[in-house]
């Protein structure tokens, strides 16, 4: 077995500087073999199902998963593969597109806050308020100063969520530029994937280095103790799914949700 294998992907610690260039998008845990990944992924999904049911019954805490990443980094695929075990009653996916006129007429957190999960539920953000410090900064729609102000607002907002009982799990799906080229080309070549292709994706791709820099800055500024970032190597899809399932299972286990106490004397009740 080569040394390269079995190396856990390096994870940033809360508060540390995140330079995406230092994280290998193809880093592997285990040997990356699908035969080994599937059983662990399935076991994690099964464990998550049970934990999520208890979270719902308990109704005291919520879990918010924030997914960010470049185009084609696999946010949709992650949701399809890793969240498949969740009962739709207790899990809600919210995608954030470019803001509409109504949303633009408010502060940038207005549309975000109203979508956070209720106690007992799991919310999944497919893109998030991080677009408001990344894509808008890449395009220079806001100044550096304004961006720093937003970082503070985001950190305060997330701290408030955590203090009020929502665990905030943030995952950046990290792909290489070359992997993005393959995935975009596949969208063009495969008639069943063509609907996903947008010309803007090519425009964003031209700005790849700037996106990576701006992302590194935002991830660093918001890599807080209460809501740290995970950098998920995402060039391999099975690998990516496995790592996210580990992160989520771990978060749910730490939340340790409990069934509420029974009504007194329930064991004596007979339904007639």
Residue ranges that bind ligand ADP, judged by CB under 6 A: 71, 95-99, 126-127, 131-132, 135-136, 198
In the bound complex, what is the minimum distance in angstroms from residue 100's beta carbon to ligand ADP? Answer: 10
CA distances 54 to 40, 101, 123, 259, 265, Å, are 21, 39, 15, 6, 22
In the bound complex, what is the minimum distance in angstroms from residue 149's beta carbon to ligand ADP? Answer: 16
Nearer to ligand ADP, 121 or 126 (CB): 126
* DSSP output for 198-224: -HHHHHHHHTHHHHHHHHHHHHHHT--
User: Residue 105's CB: how many other CB atoms inside 10 A?
Assistant: 9
In the bound complex, what is the minimum distance in angstroms from residue 95's beta carbon to ligand ADP? Answer: 6
Q: How far is CA 130 from the centre of its chain?
A: 11
In the bound complex, what is the minimum distance in angstroms from residue 217's beta carbon to ligand ADP? Answer: 16
Q: Are 122 and 257 in contact (CB under 8 A)?
A: no
Q: How far apart are CA 258 and CA 146, in angstroms?
A: 42
Q: How far apart are CA 137 and CA 144, in angstroms?
A: 8
Residue nearest to ligand ADP (CB): 131
**Reading across the β-sheet that carries 229-233, which strands appear in turn?**
91-95, 122-126, 62-69, 166-174, 229-233
Q: Are 222 and 155 in contact (CB under 8 A)?
A: yes
Nearer to ligand ADP, 28 or 127 (CB): 127
Residues comprising the chain, all counted: 272
Nearer to ligand ADP, 97 or 140 (CB): 97
Nearer to ligand ADP, 19 or 103 (CB): 103
In the bound complex, what is the minimum distance in angstroms from residue 20's beta carbon to ligand ADP? Answer: 17
Nearer to ligand ADP, 57 or 135 (CB): 135
Nearer to ligand ADP, 163 or 199 (CB): 199
In the bound complex, what is the minimum distance in angstroms from residue 3's beta carbon to ligand ADP? Answer: 37
In the bound complex, what is the minimum distance in angstroms from residue 126's beta carbon to ligand ADP? Answer: 6
CA end-to-end span of the chain, whole Å?
A: 65
Task: Give the CA count within 13 Å in the CB-facing half-sphere of 255.
Answer: 34
Nearer to ligand ADP, 40 or 201 (CB): 201
């Amino acid at each position: 077995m080569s040394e390269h294998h079995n190396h856990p992907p390096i994870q940033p610690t809360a508060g540390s500087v995140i330079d995406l260039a230092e994280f290998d998008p193809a880093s592997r845990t285990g040997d990356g073999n699908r035969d080994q990944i599937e059983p662990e992924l399935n076991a994690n999904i099964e464990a998550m199902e049970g934990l999520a049911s208890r979270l719902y019954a308990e109704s005291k805490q919520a879990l918010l998963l924030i997914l960010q990443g470049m185009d084609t980094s696999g946010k949709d695929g992650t949701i399809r593969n890793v969240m498949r075990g969740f009962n739709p009653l207790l899990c809600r996916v919210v995608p954030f597109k470019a803001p509409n006129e109504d949303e633009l007429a408010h502060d940038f957190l207005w549309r975000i806050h109203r979508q956070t999960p209720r106690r007992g539920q799991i919310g999944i953000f497919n893109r998030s308020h991080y677009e408001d410090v990344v894509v808008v900064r890449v395009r220079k729609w806001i100044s550096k100063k304004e961006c720093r102000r937003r970082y503070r607002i985001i950190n305060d907002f997330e701290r408030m969520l955590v203090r009020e009982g929502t665990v905030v799990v943030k995952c950046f799906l990290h792909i290489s530029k070359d992997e993005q080229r393959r995935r975009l080309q596949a969208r063009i070549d495969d008639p069943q994937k063509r609907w996903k292709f947008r010309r803007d994706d090519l425009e964003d791709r031209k700005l790849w280095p700037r996106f990576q820099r701006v992302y590194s800055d935002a991830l660093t500024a918001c890599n807080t103790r209460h809501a740290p970032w995970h950098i998920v190597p995402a060039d391999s899809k099975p690998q990516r799914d496995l790592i996210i399932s580990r992160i989520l299972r771990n978060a749910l286990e730490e939340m340790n949700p409990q069934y509420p106490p029974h009504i007194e004397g329930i064991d004596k009740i007979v339904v007639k």
